[in-house]
A = this chain, B = another copy of it.
Amino acid sequence: VLAAVDALSYRPSSIARGLATNRTLTIGLVVPDIANPFFPEIAKGAEEAARAAGYSLLLCNTTEDPEREAQILANLEEKWVDGLVLCSSRLPDAVLGQFLARHRAAILVNRPLPVAEMPPDLPVVSVQVDDALGARLAVAHLVGQGRRRIAFLAGPPASYSGRARRDGYAAGLAAAGLALDPGLSLPCAPVLAGGIEAASRLLAARPDLEAFLCFNDLVAVGALQVLASAGRQVPQDVAVIGADDISLAALVTPALTTVRVVQHEIGARAVEALLRLVHGDDTGRATVMLRPELVVRQSA
């Protein structure tokens, strides 16, 4: 028999097995934009953890579009994925809750659990980074250098990370006894162009600002470019701090001071937690909070 198996190079069909067992050994990974340097490293960590446990990843890209995200989530139901790793969901709590309820298990990355909107026994855990803490660390660093007029390039209003970073920014200022000046904050798209646009507008409106705290490193690089073309020295005239520590951060000039987020670990921890839910080793409802770390380079 085994000889025949070998001779015909028979492979068990995981699709038939899936139908019979109700398990596909596949998990859905949905990200807003795989081309955004924040996500590939998460995907890598997730893929490695998944493969180590015999699982495969279905990669879905929402293009930052909530409608597309909803379609994808619905599509993933039909695929019978064993679980879901959902990164930076932009869906409102109520909608998200509905979709989650139709899945067997899920991990939310960078987004708190929509507790009020979920069936009470749904196995979901949230993997987050303490973005508020990160922003506080960054503000404290700037304040420690004597900077007071600290601008905030806030990222997308719908981003939970953005909101947390905003809270940390406010808390950091408060801790230093500084007033929060609404004129120093501006939302922006989480990409280079967003940083360029927001930084130029802010710099034009408030030429006296002393630092940019940025939603992420891409935005920070945008700010760097704006400052360079405005002839402002970094960090002497204006300091810049990014967030995430994507590989780019160390390579630009001046090298970016940033709040490091361990993307690879996020991905790995997310699927590990997911598989614990899937296997029933854990019942969910938890939040894994990762600690960010300030990486001081040249820009601040």
Contacts and interface: CB of A to CB of B under 8 A. Distances in A.
Interface of A: 9, 11-16, 18-19, 24, 26, 29, 33-35, 37, 39-41, 43-44, 47-48, 51, 56-61, 63, 74-75, 77-80, 102, 192, 221, 247-248, 251-253, 264
A111 to B, nearest CB: 21
A251 B18 CA distance: 47
Nearest to A25: B79
Contact of A80 (B14, B57, B63, B192): B14
B47 A251 contact: no
Contacts of A251: 192, 221, 248, 251-252
A7 B251 CA distance: 55
A192 B249 CA distance: 13
A59 B29 contact: yes
Nearest to A98: B9
A56 B34 CA distance: 15
A79 B35 contact: no
A74 B47 CA distance: 17
Nearest to A71: B51
A16 B264 CA distance: 34
A168 to B, nearest CB: 26
A59 B61 contact: no
B41 A35 contact: yes
Nearest to A18: B15
Contacts of A15: 15, 18-19, 24, 79-80
26 contacts: A11-B77, A11-B78, A13-B19, A13-B78, A14-B80, A15-B19, A15-B24, A34-B47, A35-B41, A35-B43, A35-B44, A35-B264, A37-B247, A39-B40, A40-B40, A43-B61, A47-B61, A56-B60, A57-B59, A57-B60, A58-B58, A192-B251, A247-B248, A248-B248, A248-B251, A251-B251
